[in-house]
Amino acid sequence: MHEEILSGIALTDLRSEHRGPVLVLGDPGYDEARRVWNGMHDRRPALIARCLTASDVSAVLRHAVAADVPVTVRGGGHNVAGTAVSDDSVMIDLSLMRAVTVDPAAEQAEAEGGCLLGEVDAATAPHGLACPAGVVSHTGLGGLALGGGYGWLARKWGLTCDHILAAEVVLPDGSVVEVSESQHPELLWALRGGGGNFGIVTRFTLRLRPVGPVYHHAAVFGPDEAPAALEEYRRFAAGQSSDMHAVGAFKVAGQQEWIPERLRGEPALFLTAVWLGDPADGPAAVAPLFGTVEPAGSVARVMPYLELQGLGDHGEPHGNRYFTKSCYLSDLASDPVAELVEAARDIRSPLSSIDFEFLCGAISGPANEESAFPRREAPYICTASAQWIDPQHDAENIAWTRNTVARLAAWTYGGAYVNYLQDEPADRVVEVYGDARYRRLAAVKNSYDPRNVLRSNQNIRPTSGTAHLPSER
């Protein structure tokens, strides 16, 4: 089967042009390279090109396009929908392209397209700098930055995509271009939130921000205390400076010493506040969050920024099975909270969680013209993430995830975060961006990828393929 698919690709020519390994089924390393984070996606590409340079990316892309074989692009392999890998396709694997260089004076970093977040943080932190990014260090920079990038620094400095100053991009025709405010500005706009639709980013130039130690305070509440604790969270979060980022999660409590025995193994509410201002001011800044409803247990301390960025690493390991649904919420009033508590009581796996956070701050800052990222004013994001191990439990976990988000339908803000989409109809992408922004993205797609070569993603279709384009209004 794969031989037939690859019959149009001159493998010997590709291998001589391509510096990195080119793997087919049966080659050593093939099985490891095709694996992605979500164990639900057990797919076998016809060919995996492990690229080392932009010219490797260009070579494999040109060969695949000429032979009319579909391509996928792998950054960190973390997309929950598994868009990095597909059966019978050519996987353009960037995971060997992970160099980072930092210019501390300019407060900028150059990061290759296959970097993981932890590698960018590890390079920038010694200079007291960071690029705002996600909360799990083994997530890929490529997919996260191109789709948006929420994280601990987002309320203070904005999303990861807001920090893309420039990029080296391999276009679907194989040409390599430098993208910046002065070269291909419309493409730069689209790269800031429009996903991997327009080209393959082999190098990002990122703006960095100053970071130091942070004050971190986590607390746990039983389900009966959750409604009152969340009412306090709602009041607290909305009144804070952007130095404060407070998030919450319903999940099954673990065995940590600070969690009282009566809650261990039970669904519980966790609230976590991170204070980015002077750490000495942290306890006083966080105190009002826990002023009315006393937590059943809590733990607080000052920690280096790098440690904060690694706190989420063990909770979402590679290879487990995951299913995610997410929505923005207009408010976290008592009715949606009651639904969240019920959904938490119904949780099917001790590894699953319902996460939510108050957004705003610098996230809602940039004007539409600066980036493609939509729904910046959304007050809350809420994500049901089912995680389990045994495939026999797929159906119940998927159903729990769907039901959890369906319970919140009456309070949604509209749209969704593109990087959390899984198993959605194609039209959902139009809803995510909204009509006007989608049309602008489709026009960029038309200029740079009119044949929709890059379509294994949350796809923006070129305007020539008008099947699901919103009508002019």
Ligand X SMILES: Cc1cc2nc3c(=O)[nH]c(=O)nc-3n(C[C@H](O)[C@H](O)[C@H](O)COP(=O)(O)OP(=O)(O)OC[C@H]3O[C@@H](n4cnc5c(N)ncnc54)[C@H](O)[C@@H]3O)c2cc1C
Q: Give the residue with the Cβ less far from ligand X, 51 or 219.
A: 51
Q: How far is the CB of 113 from ligand X (least distance, A)?
A: 3
Q: How far is the CB of 142 from ligand X (least distance, A)?
A: 2
Q: How far is the CB of 95 from ligand X (least distance, A)?
A: 8
Q: How far is the CB of 187 from ligand X (least distance, A)?
A: 12
Q: How far is the CB of 424 from ligand X (least distance, A)?
A: 14
Compute the half-sphere exposure of residue 416: CA atoms within 13 Å on the CB side of its CA: 22
Q: How far is the CB of 2 from ligand X (least distance, A)?
A: 21
Q: Give the residue with the Cβ less far from ligand X, 293 or 308.
A: 308
Q: How far is the CB of 344 from ligand X (least distance, A)?
A: 20
Q: How far is the CB of 115 from ligand X (least distance, A)?
A: 9
* Residues at the contact surface with ligand X, assessed by CB under 6 A: 36-37, 72-80, 83-84, 94, 113, 134-136, 139-140, 142-144, 146-151, 195-196, 200-201, 316, 419, 456-457
Q: Give the residue with the Cβ less far from ligand X, 208 or 263.
A: 208
Q: How far is the CB of 312 from ligand X (least distance, A)?
A: 7
Q: Give the residue with the Cβ less far from ligand X, 190 or 263.
A: 190
Q: Give the residue with the Cβ less far from ligand X, 210 or 317.
A: 317
Q: Give the residue with the Cβ less far from ligand X, 84 or 308.
A: 84
Q: Give the residue with the Cβ less far from ligand X, 371 or 457.
A: 457
Q: Give the residue with the Cβ less far from ligand X, 79 or 352.
A: 79
Q: Give the residue with the Cβ less far from ligand X, 297 or 309.
A: 309
